[in-house]
Amino acid sequence: MAFFDDAFWAGGPRPGCFYPVTQPSAPAVHAKDGPVKHTTQPSVTGTSVLGLKFNGGVVVAADMCGSYGSLSRFQKQSRLTQVGENCVVGAGGDMADFHALSHMLEDIQTENDDFADGHTLTPRAIHSYITRVMYSKRSKMEPLWNTVVVGGVSSGVPFLGYVDKIGVAFEDNTVASGYGAHIAIPLMRAAYEANPAMSEDEAVALLQKCLQVLFYRDARSVNRYEIAIVTATGVRILPPIEGPTNWDIAYMVRGYE
């Protein structure tokens, strides 16, 4: 019967044994023995999401590129999802985290449907829920690495909100994430201030223009994109659109040969 287990004699000779001349290699450290780590460097990411109010609704748009580092690995990656009857959520950042958030939204939608009390989740409620999820995750040092745009219509009133990965949130008439916050926001604000009662067609055309500008300026975007239109009658996510390209001035670019 052994009075001490093997760990007691680690690094030295057991009784009746010789001291090892060559020391055994250090035992492997398993993941469960080290500190808990969470993703802070996402693998597959999406870039800008754009949102714009128009007279009677909201338009949300995003390209379909899933970038693996600097490689445009996935070019048919949807980054828009419908939540409830009159709300759409779009996200940039880590696609795996966006899928996790989508599952959470599906769960609260299912829970709401189970009550069968005639009440539906409003876009403002969904926006508020996402802010709580993001802030809670950030407080636990395991953030969902996303920037989210929430658009919808409730009681005929358009809603457009923004949430980032640490829970910072706001509402506005024009919102954008990623590189679009620098490039597309000035274009959308100028057009909205000039025509705050723009029609659905005008809003869609404006976002298509912004997406085309981003395609030429943002190295993490492609010319394939989705557009979601939300009105009081429901959500319409248009089939993927491929924007036109024009490289006639490419010969003028110097220094990248």
Reply yes or no on whether 22 is catalytic: no
Candidate list 22, 39, 131, 233, residue with the active-site label: 39
SS3 readout for the chain: CCCCCHHHHCCCCCCCCCCCCCCCCCCCCCHHHCCCCCCCCCCEEECCEEEEEECCEEEEEEECCEEECCEEEECCCCCEEECCCCEEEEEEEEHHHHHHHHHHHHHHHHHHHHHCCCCCCCHHHHHHHHHHHHHHHHHCCCCCCEEEEEEEEECCEEEEEEECCCCCEEECCEEECCCHHHHHHHHHHHHHHHCCCCCHHHHHHHHHHHHHHHHHHCCCCCCEEEEEEEECCEEEECCCEECCCCCCCHHHCCCCC
Q: Which active-site residues does the annotation give?
A: 39
